[in-house]
Amino acid sequence: MRPWFLVNRVMIFSRSRKGTLLRTSPSSCSSFICFKFGGCAKLVCSAPIAQLDRVPGFEPGGYRFESCSVQMISIFYHTQDSFADTIFAQLGKGRLHARSLYGYFMRRGTIEGFEVEPEAERLKGEILERTSFELPGYRVVVEDGGTVKFLVDMGEGLEAEAVLIPMKSKTTLCVSSQVGCKMGCTFCETGRMGLLKSLGREEIVAQVAIAVHGLGRQVDNIVFMGMGEPFDNFDEVMGAIGVLCGGLGFGPSRITVSTSGVVDMMDRFTEEADPGVHLAVSVNAPNDEVRKRVMPVNRKWNMAELKGAMARFCAGGKREILVEYVLMEGINDSLESADELAEYLRGLRVKVNLIPYNPQKKDRFAPPGQDVIEAFAKKMKENGYLTLVRQTKGQQIRAACGQLGGVDKVKIWTQTKKIGRMEA
């Protein structure tokens, strides 16, 4: 459902001593409520739009039926501006107070202590009645080294995984755009799951809100390198980036989106994304023959087409790409592979991030030895590329690159805290 919201229907009856039976339509939910007395009744349904109708045969003569709908919209779906506009569209007022409420909540993760002038108390109440602050449930895994993986309930027994990664002076949050992934990369645990669900923008933003407000962690950078192919869920990812920048206060330069090489969406990203948002491309092979073996996406868009999309992103000389390269023993780790990769990247503004293969539930590959990794990195540097070797973190809780989706072997416990929940 996009966005999350509940629906309140208020039913007003006169001369209702005989009672009137109300129900929701089959497409929304199956709740039934019988009113035996007059007054005002309220039904809250967890459905996109609950259509309430009088049951045929239960319409006492002379009754007057009136209804009004209130859409409760998740605050995590909106930027500050769009939230204020939505409130104004519903109430015909309240734009300024909605902006203030939004900013207060996003900074603190609660509305406790939010005050308005006495004459605006009723308006504040009307805004709160229309706003959902609730986050999904989550459970947490913690590694001694400080890496934190948390699993977010996405309904229907599905969980998205996110990882907090401590750096020297900053913390990076790796978020998921999907549960599972259809790209089928052979070195990735998530790829073995297949695509189970594409997340809505509010479900993506919720991962950040849980990290910041639920776990109380400072988040300096956000990387879309978790479960899923972000460009396979392009519109929701772009919407989430809008909320992160226009709501939670992250600058575009603090956000990186990684793709396996979905060329048509890379071009859309080049055109539509804020120039400050970074792009990472998972290349992982020096040539088409190897890349087809490890990345099925290469059968649709070969490396020449991928390079063309990268060149278009870099055009103008102001943007560069982070090239991700998972090193697999005997597959793509030779010095010849390094030279071939260097030649492939020639003419592009890139820096290279080498990632030693991380263990899977059922390993198809193995990481190279440390001496091989260092030799590969040295060769890339000799070819003129800024090259970094990613430090492995979170392996023991299956939180490292390529391991998400492997929660069966780790110790977990339930976190029941939900931040900022407002009861009607």
Q: Which of 65-79, 148-162, 364-378, 395-409 has the lowest mean pLDDT?
A: 65-79
pLDDT on residue 212: 96
Q: For a pLDDT cut of 90, what percent of the chain falls above it?
A: 72
The residue ranking higher by pLDDT, 105 or 26, is 105
Where residue 306 falls among pLDDT bands split at 50, 70, 90?
very high
pLDDT of 58 strictly over 90: no
Q: Domains plus CATH for the chain?
A: 5-132 (no CATH), 138-415 (3.20.20.70)
Name the strand (E) or helix (H) holding 282. Answer: strand 278-282
Active-site hit among 174, 185, 188, 401: 401
Distance of alpha carbon 304 from alpha carbon 292, whole angstroms: 13
pTM above 0.85, yes or no: no
Distance of alpha carbon 407 from alpha carbon 401, whole angstroms: 14
Average pLDDT, the chain: 83
Vertex 268, ends 292 and 290: CA angle to 5°? 10
pLDDT in tens, 133-143: 999 999 998 87
> What does the block give as tokens for 241?
């980036």
pLDDT on residue 392: 85
Inter-axis angle of helices 263-272 and 303-314, nearest 10: 0
Where residue 407 falls among pLDDT bands split at 50, 70, 90?
low
Stretch 6-14: mean pLDDT: 32
Distance of alpha carbon 289 from alpha carbon 303, whole angstroms: 10
pLDDT in tens, 14-47: 333 333 333 223 333 333 233 332 333 232 223 3
pLDDT of 413 strictly over 70: no
Please say if 40 is a catalytic residue: no
pLDDT on residue 288: 98
Stretch 246-259: mean pLDDT: 97
Where residue 316 falls among pLDDT bands split at 50, 70, 90?
confident
| Cα dist from 313 to 231, 265, 266, whole Å | 15, 11, 8
Distance of alpha carbon 300 from alpha carbon 265, whole angstroms: 13
pLDDT on residue 406: 59
pLDDT on residue 361: 87
pLDDT of 67 strictly over 50: no
